[in-house]
Structure formats: structure tokens, C-alpha cells
């Protein structure tokens, strides 16, 4: 299905800009919410700012919108430095987490608010209103007030309102946070499809990595006001550059150890209890360095009994959790480390609690990171 294109958006679609942030810092008292951020978001890209609560991602979005002003650095929309440009002159559409639909206006007045305050003639404002309401499939509810609409409907109206204002850049602040899981899944694809059909640039803030992975062209992972890594969902998942990214994107087992040997093919990592495994390491690592070995649960092979193969460790199944499509085993290794192994529930023969097993993994599917200065537990804290 192809969406209608609002007149205003159609007129401007060729001028959708890149967004650039150069050394942007924002402080609230002693708290540094955004810390020297550099970021380039491309024209027509669906970009997500992903991070735990309080990491500064919403502040970053509000900086781009002009709702807060940077203490340092520059923000460009296209070639235009917008640090001092008020929000109404940035040609943006902002969808708030709580939707912020005006409670004293019905759906129609909410949606046509943008065209009206921008001084479009009434006919043009009405054309746009009808188009966007049709687009979000709510043209039959134009008389409804926000408190008469469901969460999903309010969300659609909020997006329609932002689009009707002729936004070239759509900023979405946790737009799905208040919706039920089913509705959330449905709407996230709708929003992506809409922005792609209208050739808009979208910046989407979320703390839900699954949501970010599902809809984004690229994602920036943020922690404590700093961008840790920017990449496509696949890049972030396959080649995380830090322990935190490996932890926050997808799921990982983290085993502490030392680099016991280095060779051209990789390295030998000595885990607790003297267990040695082979893994890929970064070039900068040195022999004897304390490291964290990360392995994705779904890349681990688990077999009954004692098997001898490369990178295999013996253990006992401690807990089994059935998760519908997957089955999740928690295995206590012989060095007392705990690893999680995830397998498809329908195709695997199930193991039992207390059963002796061998877990093994390919060295090519491991990631080795320098041990965090603050300690592993602190590094992985998301609060």
C-alpha cells in the first residue's frame, strides 16, 4: 500500500537535510546529560537513539528540536546552524512519549493545528488534515477528543499531527512506550513505513533494543551522555565495540579471564579455574591483560554428556525456562561460572535439570573486551 503524501511534505521532500551535532554538551546543574556528542544523521534515514533510562537520549532529541539549548557545541540541520533557532522555525515534527495531544481540541483541530499556526490558507490546511488522517486510518474519528481515543489511536493522531505540520524531520521520543505489546509491534512498522514512503528523516528515542533493532537503519547506543557506538542493527549485534554494547544489544554471556597467549589466528584466554579457550581479540591487546569474553547465548552448542571438542567446557544444567519459541538453559560450568544457552524449543531435544552437559562455541563468534576500569558489574549497570 502506498500512503498519500501531504501537500506540504511533497513540496519539500527534496530538501530533507542531514542532521549534524558537533561536540554538543548539555548540563543540568552538576549532571552532564549530554557529553561532547558528535553525530551525523543522514538524509531520509530512520535513526534510533538507544540507551538505558537517564542516559541522555531524550535530552539529545530535545536539543535537536530546540526545546533545550546546548551549553557547548553546534547543531546543524542541513547547512544551517540552529543553536539559536526556536523550535517553531526548525521544520520538525515532535512526537512526545505522552503524545501531548491538546486536550481541548478534537482530533481534527489537533491535526490541522500545524498548518493553521503556520498561516496556510484554510483550504490547504483542510486538504493536509484529510490526507494525514486518512494516512493513519482515523479519518472517521476526526470529531473525537483525545480522552475518547485509545492509546494506539492517540499515537496515530500524534504522528499525523507532526506530519501535517510539514515536518521534514520527525523526532519521536519513546513514541511506543505507552502502548500494549501487540499494538506497539503493529505501530512501529507503520511509523517506519510512513516515514520511508514520505522520504522523511526520523530520529527515534527508545530504551527498547528490540524495537530499535526492528525499525532502524542505524542506531546510536548511548550511556551516561556519551555515544558508545553508531551502526546498523547488524553491525551493533555482530561487532559490538564495548562490553556495554554487547550487553545492551541482544544478550551475552560474560566470562572474566586473562590473555594467556597471542598468535596470528587469535588468542588463548584463560578463564577462571584454568580453563583455556580460543577467541578473537583486538590487535591492541597484550599478553597477560585482564579481559571479558562475550558469547551470545544462541551461538553456544549444548550437548548431553561429556564431549571433547575445541572450546568445550563441562557443566551441569541448573535451570530450564520455556519461553515459547525458545528454550533457555542456565548451565553451571565446572569453574562455577554461569552461562545461558538459548535453543529453539521445537527442533531441539530437551535436556533436564541436573544433567551433565558440554557447552562449546566457535572462536569466531566470541568477542573479547578489555576488562572495564570500573569493574564489570558497574560497567553493565543501566540505572
Q: How far apart are CA 268 and CA 363, in angstroms?
A: 10
The CB density around residue 150, as the number of other CB atoms within 10 Å, is 11
Indicate which single residue of 23, 53, 83, 117 sits in contact with other proteins (rule: CB under 8 A).
117
Query: Which residue number, 166 or 233, has a Cβ lying nearer to other proteins?
Result: 166
Q: Applying CB under 8 A, what is the total number of residues that bind other proteins?
A: 29
Return the bridge partners of 360, or none: 301, 312
Our finding on whether 12 is near other proteins (CB under 8 A) is no
Q: How far apart are CA 13 and CA 7, in angstroms?
A: 10
Q: In angstroms, what is the minimal distance from the CB of 65 to other proteins? A: 6
Q: In angstroms, what is the minimal distance from the CB of 111 to other proteins? A: 10
Our finding on whether 113 is near other proteins (CB under 8 A) is yes
Query: Which residue number, 118 or 241, has a Cβ lying nearer to other proteins?
Result: 118
The stretch among 75-83, 92-100, 201-209, 284-292 that binds other proteins (CB under 8 A) is: 92-100
Q: How far apart are CA 367 and CA 149, in angstroms?
A: 47
Our finding on whether 119 is near other proteins (CB under 8 A) is yes
Contact set for other proteins, span 169-228 (CB under 8 A): 171
Our finding on whether 96 is near other proteins (CB under 8 A) is yes
Query: Which residue number, 108 or 248, has a Cβ lying nearer to other proteins?
Result: 108
Our finding on whether 256 is near other proteins (CB under 8 A) is no
Give the count of alpha carbons within 13 A of 18, CB side only.
8
Torsion of CA 372, 375, 378, 380, to 10 degrees: 50
Query: Which residue number, 62 or 296, has a Cβ lying nearer to other proteins?
Result: 62
Of 288, 286, 281, 248, whose CA–CA distance to 266 is shortest?
Answer: 281
Confirm if 240 and 280 have CB atoms less than 8 A apart: no
Our finding on whether 149 is near other proteins (CB under 8 A) is no
54, burial (CB in 10 Å: exposed 0-12, middle 13-18, buried 19+): middle
Question: What 3-state class would DSSP assign to 172?
Answer: strand
Q: In angstroms, what is the minimal distance from the CB of 61 to other proteins? A: 11
Q: How far apart are CA 296 and CA 253, in angstroms?
A: 6
Q: In angstroms, what is the minimal distance from the CB of 39 to other proteins? A: 20
- In the block, cell 560474560 appears at 254
Our finding on whether 56 is near other proteins (CB under 8 A) is no
Query: Which residue number, 89 or 348, has a Cβ lying nearer to other proteins?
Result: 89
Query: Which residues, at least 6 apart from 117, have a Cβ–Cβ distance to it below 8 Å?
Result: 88
Q: In angstroms, what is the minimal distance from the CB of 96 to other proteins? A: 5
Our finding on whether 126 is near other proteins (CB under 8 A) is no
The stretch among 64-72, 291-299, 321-329, 369-377 that binds other proteins (CB under 8 A) is: 64-72
Our finding on whether 83 is near other proteins (CB under 8 A) is no
Instruction: List strands edge to edge, sheet with 72-77.
Output: 31-41, 19-28, 72-77, 80-81
Our finding on whether 19 is near other proteins (CB under 8 A) is no
Q: In angstroms, what is the minimal distance from the CB of 66 to other proteins? A: 8
Confirm if 153 and 138 have CB atoms less than 8 A apart: yes
Confirm if 191 and 121 have CB atoms less than 8 A apart: no
| DSSP H or E run through 11 | helix 7-12
Query: Which residue number, 36 or 87, has a Cβ lying nearer to other proteins?
Result: 87
**Angle formed by the axes of helices 122-135 and 151-164, nearest 10°:** 140
The stretch among 94-102, 137-145, 287-295, 299-307 that binds other proteins (CB under 8 A) is: 94-102
The residues that touch other proteins, with contacts defined as CB under 8 A, are: 65-67, 86-88, 90, 92-94, 96, 98, 100, 102-105, 109, 113-114, 116-119, 161-162, 165-166, 171
Amino acid at each position: 500500500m502506498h500512503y498519500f503524501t501531504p501537500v506540504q511534505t511533497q513540496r519539500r521532500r527534496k530538501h530533507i537535510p542531514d542532521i549534524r551535532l558537533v561536540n554538543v554538551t548539555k548540563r543540568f546543574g552538576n549532571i552532564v546529560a549530554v557529553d561532547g556528542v558528535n553525530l551525523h544523521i543522514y538524509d531520509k534515514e530512520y535513526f534510533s537513539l538507544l540507551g538505558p533510562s537517564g542516559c541522555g537520549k531524550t535530552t539529545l532529541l530535545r536539543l535537536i528540536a530546540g526545546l533545550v539549548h546546548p551549553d557547548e557545541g553546534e547543531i546543524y540541520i542541513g547547512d544551517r546552524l540552529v543553536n539559536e533557532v526556536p523550535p517553531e522555525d526548525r521544520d520538525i515534527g515532535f512526537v512526545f512519549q505522552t503524545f501531548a495531544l491538546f486536550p481541548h481540541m478534537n482530533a481534527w483541530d489537533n491535526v490541522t493545528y500545524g498548518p493553521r499556526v503556520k498561516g496556510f490558507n484554510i483550504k490547504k490546511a483542510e486538504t493536509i488534515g484529510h490526507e494525514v488522517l486518512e494516512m493513519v486510518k482515523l479519518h472517521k474519528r476526526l470529531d473525537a477528543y483525545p480522552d475518547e481515543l485509545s492509546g494506539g489511536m492517540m499515537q496515530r493522531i500524534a504522528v499525523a499531527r507532526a506530519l501535517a505540520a510539514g515536518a521534514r524531520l520527525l523526532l519521536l521520543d519513546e513514541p511506543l512506550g505507552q502502548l500494549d505489546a501487540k499494538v506497539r509491534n503493529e505501530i512501529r512498522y507503520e511509523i517506519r513505513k510512513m516515514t520511508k514512503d514520505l522520504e522523511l528523516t526520523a530520529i527515534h528515542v527508545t530504551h527498547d533494543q528490540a524495537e530499535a533493532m526492528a525499525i532502524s537503519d542505524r542506531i546510536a547506543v548511548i550511556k551516561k551522555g556519551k555515544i558508545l557506538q553508531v551502526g546498523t542493527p547488524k553491525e551493533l549485534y555482530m561487532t559490538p565495540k564495548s562490553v556495554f554494547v554487547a550487553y545492551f544489544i541482544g544478550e551475552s554471556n560474560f566470562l572474566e579471564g586473562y590473555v594467556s597467549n597471542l598468535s596470528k589466528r587469535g588468542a588463548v584466554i584463560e578463564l577462571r579455574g584454568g580453563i583455556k579457550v580460543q577467541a578473537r581479540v583486538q590487535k591492541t591487546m597484550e599478553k597477560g591483560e585482564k579481559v571479558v569474553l562475550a558469547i551470545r547465548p544462541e551461538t553456544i552448542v549444548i550437548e548431553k554428556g561429556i564431549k571433547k571438542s575445541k572450546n568445550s567446557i563441562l557443566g551441569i544444567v541448573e535451570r530450564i525456562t520455556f519461553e515459547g519459541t525458545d528454550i533457555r538453559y542456565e548451565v553451571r560450568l565446572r569453574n562455577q561460572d554461569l552461562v545461558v544457552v538459548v535453543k529453539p524449543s521445537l527442533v531441539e531435544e530437551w535436556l533436564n535439570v541436573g544433567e551433565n552437559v558440554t557447552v562449546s562455541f566457535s572462536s569466531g563468534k566470541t568477542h573479547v573486551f578489555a576488562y572495564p576500569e570500573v569493574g564489570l558489574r558497574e560497567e553493565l549497570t543501566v540505572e
